[in-house]
Amino acid sequence: MKNLSLVCFSLLFMLSLYGCDRTDNEAEHTAEVASFEDQALLHAPGWGDMQFELPEPGSYKLPPFGKAADGNVLTDEGEAKRLSDFYGDKVVLLSFMFTQCSDLNGCPLVTAVYYKLKEALKSDPELSDQIRLVSLSFDPKYDTPEVMKFYGQGSKDFGGPEWQFLTTASREELDPITQGFGQYINQEYDEDGNPTYSYAHVLRVFLIDKNGLKRTQYSATFLHDQSIIADLKTLLLEEKDS
C-alpha cells in the first residue's frame, strides 16, 4: 500500500497545483469534463474510500448495451493490432485518455483508480488473471508508442491485472474507435487560434465482457475501484453460471 499511496499522493499534489490560484469564477466546472481550462477542484469519489455499502456481487445484473467498437491500434512496443485482439479471453476495463491531461478528475483519476485496482487484486491472482486494463490514448500525435511506454513504466511492479497502454497511428485510425464508443473530444486552442495539446472530453470508462459486449460505463462520479471490483465479480459469476 505504501507504493500506491505515493502514486496517488503525487498525482493529487502535482495536478492540484494548477488550480490553487484560480478565482471562484475561473473554478466553475463540471465534474464529468476533463479540460486544462476547466479544472475540477473537488476530488472525485474514486480518489478516496467508498462512502456507501455496495450490493453483493451477483445480486444485480449488468445488461449488455452494444458491441464494443474495433479499430487499428499500436501497442507500447509499436506492434500493430486490432483493438478486438484485446477482447475475448478476459474481461476488459477500457479507458480513453491522453498523457498530458492535467485535470484532476480526468485521465489522472482513471490512472489512479487503475493502480488501486492492481493493488487491491494482486492478492487474488485467480481474479486478476481474468481482467485486462486498457488505456487508449486519443492524442496519437503526441502519445506515440514510446510515450505510452514511458507513461506506463512501473505499472507491472504493482502486480495484479494486466495493463495495456495503446495508441493509434493517426486521428484517421482513431476516429472509428472513439465514434464507436461515443467518446467525443474537442481539441483546445490558444488565444491565437493555434491548436494545443489539451483536449476537452467527457470521462468514460467501459467494462467489456468476454464476448466483446459493453456491460457498463463509468463516469468520474461513479469510477471507484471497489464498485468496479464488484462489477467484475458480477460478470464472472454470470459467466460461471451460464
Q: Is the pLDDT of residue 241 over 90?
A: no
Instruction: Choose between 131 and 155: higher pLDDT.
Output: 131
Q: What is the pLDDT of residue 140?
A: 92
Instruction: Choose between 72 and 27: higher pLDDT.
Output: 72
Q: What is the CATH number of domain 2-241?
A: 3.40.30.10
Average pLDDT of the segment spanning 118-122 = 93
pTM over 0.95: no
Q: What is the pLDDT of residue 41?
A: 54
Domain extents for the chain? 2-241
Is residue 189 very low, low, confident or very high in pLDDT (cuts 50, 70, 90)? low
Cell reading at 53: 455499502
At residue 165's C-alpha, the angle toward residues 136 and 210, to 5°, is 75
Q: How many CA atoms, within 13 angstroms, populate the side-chain half-sphere of residue 114?
A: 30
| CB contact at 8 A, 3 and 158 | yes
pLDDT tens digit sequence for 21-30 = 333 333 333 3
